[in-house]
Structure 1
Amino acid sequence: MRVMVLLILGLLLAVAVALFMGKLISKVKLPAILGWLIAGMILGPHAVGLVNETTLNAEWYKTIVNILECAVGLLIGTELVWNKIKKSGKQLIITTLTQSLGTFFVVSVVFAIVFYFTGIPLYLALIFGGIALATAPAPALSVVREFKTDGPVTRTLIPMAALDDMVGVVVFFSTISIISAKISEQKLPIYMILLIVLLPIIIGIGTGLLAGFLLKKENTPQKTIVLLITIILISSGVGFIFDKIILPEPVLNFMLIGMAFSATFANMISKNRLEEIMSAFNPILDISMIVVILNLGTPLDYHLILGAGLFTAIYIISRAVGKYSGAFFGAAITRSPQVVKKYLGLTLLPHSGVSLVFTGIAVSVLKGPAPECAKIIQGTIAAAAVINEVIAVIVAKKAFEWAGEFHNKYDIELCESN
């Protein structure tokens, strides 16, 4: 019990340090998230060890992070109001597919060429492609939140984050299931792919309907917060039952549960009521965002920057080319605004959380039949996660700045109130 108390105190201290680092980084006009990520790396098990392996592997810690991921999902879900996105629905779907599948194609082809000449099995190129296409939504969204961005790029990115998550899961698990069936006894049933995508959405819609009925009525901010937290806990609780008890291994995306849950209730209540709810929930959302980003940073080993090799450089560059060119092409064929064509791809570079989860699954499949391939993936992606995340956050911030979307949300709200 005493050990657990010390671990919890260590986590609380880490959150306080991350908050301080974020404010410090903001002073030099960089996104606060960069401070949170760096704090995670410094305080994680590979450096100071304030948040050590014992904490990261503890069930209570994973539970807290999953609940807060569900809460962060509200940042995306509450923007998925049908009246706001119905005009751009076709553009969103096409651009999501071109940037995600484009990344899969570019990374897979580049690594296939490299592996052909180095004698490494070509199927590994497809696994790299499957890991590369996913985007971690939290880093870019934290920039949106911090700098109050609004405009064509922001309005495309937020709903795209939800769609991109689903496409990433389908492509990665389809790829890994086909490869595992060929080389390993550890086979992933086809129905699991659909389950991994659809189950979080079904859970979220179910609890979102309940939230819609309960949150419609005007309430004090205190009662609203209590109701919202209760339903987030119910949503997460249902997710835990499936993730820990029913499914063969924990694979549910809790942020996707939060997205589906909040998108459902956001479409059931008035715009003014939704603004009241999110205004009351903002302080909790801020803390949730810090912990989720801190959690992305803690597993990252900064020593890997020094040991990063050719495969890491190829991975980072080919993924960036795939994301940018795919987003540019999708925006061009759907006749999206010029700023979306030029800058959307730059906001899609953050990657670490999703990449590390997918890497862990790929390594577990490969370590028996192909241990050398497992080492190549683990070393390459771990190093890329550290380097890419720092660069990607800065680039995402500059993309919103170049698109002219800084502080627009505040200005628009002022205009509407007048």
Structure 2
Amino acid sequence: MHINILIILAGLFLLAFVNKLVCPKLKLPEVTGYVILGAIISGVAGITVGMSKLNEVLDSIEIISSIALGIIGFSIGIELKLSVLKKLGNSIFFIVLFEVFGGFVVVAITSKIFGFQTYTALLLGSVAAATAPAATVAIIRKYKSKGELTSTILAVVGIDDAVALIVYVLAAGFASSMVTGEKLHILHIFVKVGISIFIAISIGAISGFVYSYIVKNIKNQDTMEMILVAFILLLLGLSEMFDVSELLTIMTFGAFITNLSEVTTRKSENIIEKFTGVFVGAFFIAGGAYLDYSLIKAVFGTSVLFFIARTIGKIFGAKIGATIGKASPKVKKHIGVMLLPQVGVAVALVISIKKQFVGVQVHGIDIGTFIFNILLLTTLLTEFIGPILTKRALLAVKEIKER
């Protein structure tokens, strides 16, 4: 059967619309509803057309995921104001450092203790290190949250992507050497990581400067929309061309804009909000649809182990970092539970694993597929409780109002 991409996209957007109507009545965060819808689609498709056909369909709309990640990256970047970061102080650095390595170390050690090969443990740990910004950003934007905890969590999830990417590249480098039996070239791995990050930041920074210069005197909203969309698509393309993180590139782009012009930032933020609901909604639905029910029995135990270990690593890591960084009591108390969502960046990392570790298996299952389904199973849980815990934390510190 021929895949009609336009009909598929229409269906996704209509489902996103239905989700927006239903979730408020169920008092369920929209992000959670999207993922649940995706999981339902996977179940129905698995019975009717088969998972291979569904995966083919999902691969055909990969551009939607790329655009959504671009929007998410930009939304994070424009919140990274130097004046705010300076005010928050060293606490940001320590929270990010400890929550990223907390998730990585606890999951990797736990996986090794329970009998997984060292390279599998490293890859599971690297995926656990990533925290998805989309769910957190969606809740903050929906309730227009403002305050110290809001600024802190946005800064943390923004910087988290860069640090998690470093952890992944290092872990994948070591894992690859173990699989192939080659000698570990630590310096080579570090240089590769450094170059990748430098290229991403350079592209984002230069683009941010050029964009701000071009639009500084433009008052027509339609013209600004065209320019901003063109820049985001260009950055996505350049990131793919140079094989660097699109999130890091576009996050840098947004951060550069917000520190150059407050007026340009405000206009750009209003523009990006118009596209957020459509693309991000479709992104989460498609993400949930990757769940393969036929593998649930094989990965369920590991998924529970992964979820518990990652939760412990993230919460206690963030708390330790906040304590060392002398963050405020409310940040120290609530920051950890806001770091549980993991879909998004982690999905991109698993896709990289699928490409890099072809033929490597765990319990008779391709390692990429194995980790992917662990991620999606735990995502259903983290995307369900994560937004709820985030909302409750923001309510507790009175940075949003109940509605």
Question: Per-residue displacement from partner, 1:111-139 (whole Å, max 9, x unpaired)?
Answer: 22222xxxx43343222212211111111
1:124–1:373 Cα contact (<8 Å) kept: no
1:72–1:288 Cα contact (<8 Å) kept: no
Q: CA distance change for structure 1 residues 84 and 410 in 2, over 3 Å: closer, same or farther?
A: farther
Q: Does 1:151 align with 2:147?
A: yes
Q: CA distance change for structure 1 residues 162 and 47 in 2, over 3 Å: closer, same or farther?
A: farther
* Residue 305 of structure 1: how far off its partner (Å): 4.9
State the alpha-carbon separation in 1 of the partners of residues 24 and 154 from structure 2.
23
Q: Provide the secondary structure at the position in 1 that maps to 2:376.
A: helix
Which residue of structure 2 lines up, in the alignment, with residue 248 of structure 1?
none
State the alpha-carbon separation in 2 of the partners of residues 193 and 373 from structure 1.
31
2:69–2:344 Cα contact (<8 Å) kept: no
Q: CA distance change for structure 1 residues 82 and 23 in 2, over 3 Å: closer, same or farther?
A: same
Which residue of structure 2 lines up, in the alignment, with residue 167 of structure 1?
163
* Residue 49 of structure 1: how far off its partner (Å): 6.4
Q: Does 1:28 align with 2:20?
A: no
2:100–2:129 Cα contact (<8 Å) kept: yes
Which residue of structure 1 lines up, in the alignment, with residue 138 of structure 2?
142
Gapped runs of 5+ residues in structure 2? none
Letter of the structure 2 residue corresponding to residue 68 of structure 1:
A
Which residue of structure 2 lines up, in the alignment, with residue 353 of structure 1?
344
Letter of the structure 2 residue corresponding to residue 150 of structure 1:
K
Root-mean-square deviation over aligned CA pairs: 3.0
Which residue of structure 2 lines up, in the alignment, with residue 333 of structure 1?
324
Tell me the matched-pair count.
394
State the alpha-carbon separation in 2 of the partners of residues 374 and 200 from structure 1.
34
Q: Provide the secondary structure at the position in 2 that maps to 1:52.
A: helix
Q: Does 1:235 align with 2:231?
A: no
1:77–1:261 Cα contact (<8 Å) kept: yes
State the alpha-carbon separation in 1 of the partners of residues 294 and 120 from structure 2.
25
Which residue of structure 2 lines up, in the alignment, with residue 246 of structure 1?
none
Letter of the structure 2 residue corresponding to residue 175 of structure 1:
A
Q: Does 1:258 align with 2:260?
A: no
Q: CA distance change for structure 1 residues 54 and 182 in 2, over 3 Å: closer, same or farther?
A: closer
* Residue 158 of structure 1: how far off its partner (Å): 0.9
Q: Does 1:388 align with 2:379?
A: yes
Which residue of structure 1 lines up, in the alignment, with residue 216 of structure 2?
216
State the alpha-carbon separation in 2 of the partners of residues 121 and 279 from structure 1.
48
Q: Provide the secondary structure at the position in 2 that maps to 1:309.
A: helix
State the alpha-carbon separation in 1 of the partners of residues 70 and 362 from structure 2.
34
State the alpha-carbon separation in 2 of the partners of residues 259 and 237 from structure 1.
15
Q: CA distance change for structure 1 residues 49 and 76 in 2, over 3 Å: closer, same or farther?
A: farther
Gapped runs of 5+ residues in structure 1? 244-251, 412-418
* Residue 235 of structure 1: how far off its partner (Å): 1.9
* Residue 184 of structure 1: how far off its partner (Å): 1.2
Q: State which of 52, 57, 60 in structure 1 corresponds to 2:59.
A: 57
Which residue of structure 2 lines up, in the alignment, with residue 183 of structure 1?
179
Q: Percent identity?
A: 23
Q: Provide the secondary structure at the position in 1 that maps to 2:395.
A: coil
Question: Per-residue displacement from partner, 1:264-305 (whole Å, max 9, x unpaired)?
Answer: 1111112x4422332233212222321322232221235555
TM score, norm. by length of structure 2: 0.87
* Residue 262 of structure 1: how far off its partner (Å): 1.2
